[in-house]
Structure 1
Amino acid sequence: MKRKNTIVLTAILALSTLLAACGANTTDKGGTDTSTGGTNPPTEKTKLSIWHNFSGDDLRAKAVRAQIDKFKAAHPEVELDAQAIPPDGYRQRLKTVAAANEMPDIFYTDSGTSIEEFYSGGLIQPITSLLDKNPDWKNNFTPGAFEPLSFDNQVYATPLSGSATSLFYYNQSLFDQANIKVPTTWDELMAAVKTFKDKKITPIALGNKAAWLAQSSIMSSLGDRVTGTEWFLKATKQDGAKFTDPEFVQALTYFKGLAEAGAFQEGFNSLDNTQMEQYFIQGKAAMMIDGSWALTNMAATGTKEQLEQVGIGVIPSIPGGKGDPNSISGGPGGGLALSKKVTGKQLDAALDLIYTVSGPEGMNALAHSNTLLNYNIELDTTKVTPLFLKAFDLYKTVKLTPVYDAYLTSAGTDAINNGLQELLMGGKAEATAKKLQDAEVKARTK
């Protein structure tokens, strides 16, 4: 027994001597190295970056940023670099970093061609595992919601909104004062344009500074009215239809006719989307053709009286048109995509962030920010505007037709965007059609 105690004591003394000799390994409670006076480095954080274009003061943008902030507060172990980039320059910035293969870890991308190009370039990875892990969330999306965001049976993003790009907004008070009815045909629209023009009231508000709005909100729907959806899809595939065909030139001619009739306010190519919506909600224009995003923008800035006088419908029908007159361009919106480079702890954190923004809580916040969704949710009507409810009801009753930039290549989208700006300034419909046709052929035959 005595020998055993001696052996234990000898071991303890030897250990004490060893620890004293290796004093570099001991620290005080404050983390100070007692042998060198230095400080141990803190546990290294997981770095994560996210880019998105929800940069404005509208309710939807605030809802998305609030969910990102919630993730940040709940994950102190993550060093989050969140960049909110204005929409007008967002797609170009993504193209620039994509060309250099320097994508952010998570980024918002539009559905259709935009996300397809990131997929084809090998820049993103699927989030199917996140959906499978949360079946209640996955199964609550409406049928077809994942279609324009999926490739080879894998989902690469979930839609943060239901895209309706061509809602026809009108100021009922101004129509009542002019003693004319809201137009449902093209002839009635052109007559209304003349009446308001004569009364020194802007007929249709337009903000096409970034060049995408005329294409996405007006031409996508107007073109479908003339050509029909089947023709457009064939033209995008260059399979039995071309953008130089007479029906598309005719659609461009209808668009140009609006500018020639003085339908838009002066300086429409120098006003951005948000400025256009403010111009309309303030009663300076009788009509506006814009997307569902205007609902959340106007809800954030318009007064109760201003919002109450706004009605919502569809673009007037075209005589002899091949398209469905009870339709709007739209479909599932874009979502958060995940860079292929993200792995390990960074991947776990990234999936958590995507779920925080796009999961059930995020969907609920978006719905009550006056945002249309491809997601089933119980809406508290006291928390949204009556204007949103009008759009919500309309969205359920119309046919959705393609948004041009969701199907055209990037080069084709640039060609039609720039071509429409030129057309508004007096360019020729045939020249715009040829530019689009040439850009699509070149992009698709590389």
Structure 2
Amino acid sequence: MLKKWLSGMLAMTLFSIVLAGCGGGNSSEGSDSKDKVTVTIWHNWTGQDAKAVAMRKIIEDFRGSHPDIEVVDEGLPTDGLKTRLRTVAAANEMPDLFVMWPDAMTKEFVKGDLLQPINAELDAKPEWKDNFIPNALDGYTVDGDIYSVPMNLAPTSFIYYNEALFKQYNVKVPETWDELEQAVAAFNENKIIPIALGNKANWVAQSTIFSTLADRVTGTDWFLKAAAQDGASFTDPQFIQALDKMQELSNSKAFQDGFNSIDETQMMQLYFQGKAAMVINGGWALANLVNNAPEDILNNTHITILPAVDGGQGEARTTSGVVGTGLGVSKKLSGAQKDAAMELFYALAGPEGQKATLDSSTLVSYKIDLDKSKAHPLFVELYDLMQEVKITPVYDSKLGSATVEVINNGLQELLMGGKAADIANKIQASQASAVGK
């Protein structure tokens, strides 16, 4: 009897499960879950600066207007994102969409067969494709295929200076290298940090100072030849001179003690606190200034560029930079998932996304007029400055990833007294290996 009873109960249970499964399949909730497409995106919009806030809002609005698409986003600081992307690239486990950098990173990912081009999507929207500034798509173009579009414009080297401190100590805002050296000496005499530097994340000195300084000395053509290992070498005298010039800044106490032990955020804090007369940083720093600097510091902040170096081969009215980060599209995407990913791509990088970026006090590589009546005066100052200066390559956009680490670590060593010739030899050996020479 017990065996019959158990058999009957088991049969009833199985019958109930089957009925529940059939009923669930007909419910709207089950249908929604089945039809929903998931898109993953990794980005570096983690802070409270206006750009990051604007991009996160676009993602949130996209979720609200696309209930059939589940967006799983993960934000990482820039350094962490770069490291993690290269880690998952080695295992071919890229997210569906991810913030990536032009030139070197894009070429590496294309070579690794990790990306798919977006030519068809751009060609389908000529009003979008045709409004990027000249050469904006070059850094994302490999063998004629376009793999992304820039979502901002990223000049990497400006001098942000506190005009009140310059006036207080009767120091001239430097227009020549001699005047920069005089300013450094004057502020040191008055116990003011001449230039705040936070080089713990070792890209800062290379990206914000050295790329422009080196171009002042060597000229752009020499650098591009050295990067390609085609008629120029990083052991050439002009590059040694550029390293020497960088070391002279450190030797003259242009930077505060312990600059290799603090990060970019702490560097900006020294400027916000009025302890530093200048800070050299990229265009991205402006949004941070506008949103986080004390009012008295912000109202006295103005922007200029690194002075020319006497006898240098480079142009004077330039700043290093790239057209800006873009979104990579995983090679594995297809069908409905790819369609959903490209909708999100367009929301973030299309005309509305470009406008949101410009409205967040961030420069763009897209043809949009700035409404100066609504923009912050400091951003208007930066915008106007960019109309008269030319962008030259930032080193980490043109060199192989291994060489970037060598030069970043080498600059840390150089600023602490390392020998320029030894560091140059390491850079040359790494880049020669990177290009197979």
Q: Same fold (TM over 0.5)?
A: yes
Contact (CA 8 Å) 1:308, 1:386: kept in 2 or not? no
Which sections of structure 1, spanning at least 5 residues, go unmatched? Answer: 1-21, 33-38
| DSSP 3-state at the match of 1:288 | strand
Q: Which segment drifts farther, 142-151 or 279-288?
A: 279-288
Matched, 1:269 2:260: yes
- Percent of aligned pairs sharing the same letter: 49
User: Structure 1 residues 438 and 29 mapped into 2: Cα distance closer, same or farther (>3 Å)?
Assistant: closer
Q: In structure 1, what is the Cα distance between the partners aligned to 2:250 and 2:172?
A: 22
Q: CA deviation at 1:154?
A: 2.0
Q: Is the 8 A contact 1:274 1:297 kept in 2?
A: no
Partner of 2:73: 82
After TM superposition, list the pairs within 5 Å mapping 1:247-396 onto structure 2: 247-396=238-387
Residue from 125, 137, 155 that aligns with 1:134: 125
1:73 paired with 2:64, answer yes
C-alpha change, 1:44 and 1:313, in structure 2 (3 Å) is same
Structure 1 residue 379 displacement after superposition: 2.1
Deviations 1:1-43 (A, max 9, x none): xxxxxxxxxxxxxxxxxxxxx97896499839xxxxxx88942
Structure 2 residue corresponding to 1:101, chosen from 69, 92, 97: 92
Q: Which moved more, 1:376-385 or 1:80-89?
A: 376-385
- Which of 402, 406, 410 is 2:401 aligned to? 410
The 8 Å contact of residues 103 and 397 in structure 2, kept in 1 or not, is answered as yes
Aligned residue number for residue 440 of structure 1: 431
Q: What residue number does 1:183 align with?
A: 174
Trace 1:8-157 onto structure 2 (pairs within 5 A): 27=23, 31=27, 42-157=33-148
Question: Contact 1:141/1:374 (CA < 8 Å) preserved in 2?
Answer: yes
Q: In the TM superposition, what is the alpha-carbon distance from 1:198 to its structure 2 partner?
A: 1.0
Moved more, 172-181 or 64-73: 64-73
Shift of 1:245: 0.8
Report the Cα offset of residue 308 of structure 1: 2.0
Partner Cα distance (2:55, 2:280) in 1: 25
Q: Which amino acid aligns with 2:196?
A: A
Shift in Å, 1:277: 1.9
Kindly indicate whether the alpha-carbon contact (under 8 Å) linking 1:249 and 1:429 is maintained by their aligned counterparts in 2: yes
Q: Name which one, 1 or 2, has greater alpha-carbon Rg.
A: 1
Aligned residue number for residue 7 of structure 1: none
Counterpart-to-counterpart distance in 2, 1:401 and 1:360: 26
Could you say what secondary structure the match of 2:258 adopts?
coil
- The residue type paired with residue 331 of structure 1 is V
Matches within 5 A, 1:161-200: 161-200=152-191
Is the 2:32–2:68 contact (alpha carbons within 8 Å) kept by the matching residues of 1?
Answer: no
In the alignment, structure 1 residue 215 sits paired with structure 2 residue 215: no
Residue identity in the other structure for 1:143: P
Cα distance change, pair 98–226 in 1 and its aligned pair in 2 (3 A): same
Q: CA deviation at 1:169?
A: 1.4
RMSD between aligned residues: 1.9
Flag the 1:25–1:111 CA change in 2: closer, same or farther, 3 A. Answer: closer
Distance 1:214 1:334 in 2: 20
Secondary structure of the corresponding residue to residue 387 of structure 1: helix
Contact 1:109 1:115 in 2 (8 A): yes
Counterpart AA for 2:153: G
Structure 2: gaps spanning 5 or more residues:
1-17
Using the alignment, how far apart are the partners of 1:211 and 1:25 within structure 2?
Answer: 57
Q: In structure 2, what is the Cα distance between the partners aligned to 1:131 and 1:307?
A: 40
The alignment's TM-score, normalised by the length of structure 2, stands at 0.92
SS for the counterpart of 1:102 is coil
Deviations 1:412-440 (A, max 9, x none): 10100000011111111111111111111
* Alignment partners' CA distance in 2, 1:436 and 1:208: 19
Q: Which amino acid aligns with 2:76?
A: I
Aligned residues: 419
Quick check: 274-283 or 123-132, which moved more? 274-283
Aligned twin of 1:225: 216
Three-state SS of the structure 1 residue aligned to 2:260 is coil
Distance 1:320 1:133, change over 3 A: same
Q: CA 1:325–1:343 in structure 2 vs 1: closer, same or farther (change >3 Å)?
A: same
Matched letter for residue 130 of structure 1: E
Inter-partner Cα distance in structure 1 for 2:365 and 2:48: 23
Residues 333 and 42 from structure 1, CA distance in 2 versus in 1: closer, same or farther, beyond 3 angstroms? closer
CA deviation vs aligned residue, 1:204-233 (integer Å, no higher than 9, x gap): 011111100111111100000000111101
Give 3-state SS (helix, strand or coil) of 2:346's partner: helix
Distance 1:28 1:434 in 2: 68
Distance 1:58 1:23 in 2: 53
Secondary structure at 1:181 match in 2:
coil
Deviation at 1:70, TM superposition (A): 1.5
Give the Cα separation in 1 of the matches to 2:24 and 2:280. Answer: 67
Runs of 4+ residues over 3 Å off in structure 1 = 22-32, 39-42
3-state SS in 1 of match to 2:321 = strand
Q: 1:25 to 1:59 in 2, by over 3 A?
A: closer
SS at match of 1:298: helix
**Equivalent AA in structure 2 for residue 386 of structure 1:** P
Deviation for aligned residue 1:168: 1.6
Instruction: Work out whether residues 278 and 298 of structure 1, in 8 Å CA contact, stay in contact via their aligned partners in 2.
Output: no
Whole-Å separation in 1 of the counterparts to 2:21 and 2:296: 71
1:9 corresponds to: none
1:236 positional shift: 0.5
One-letter amino acid matched to 1:392: Y
Question: Secondary structure, in 3 states, of the residue corresponding to 1:51?
Answer: strand
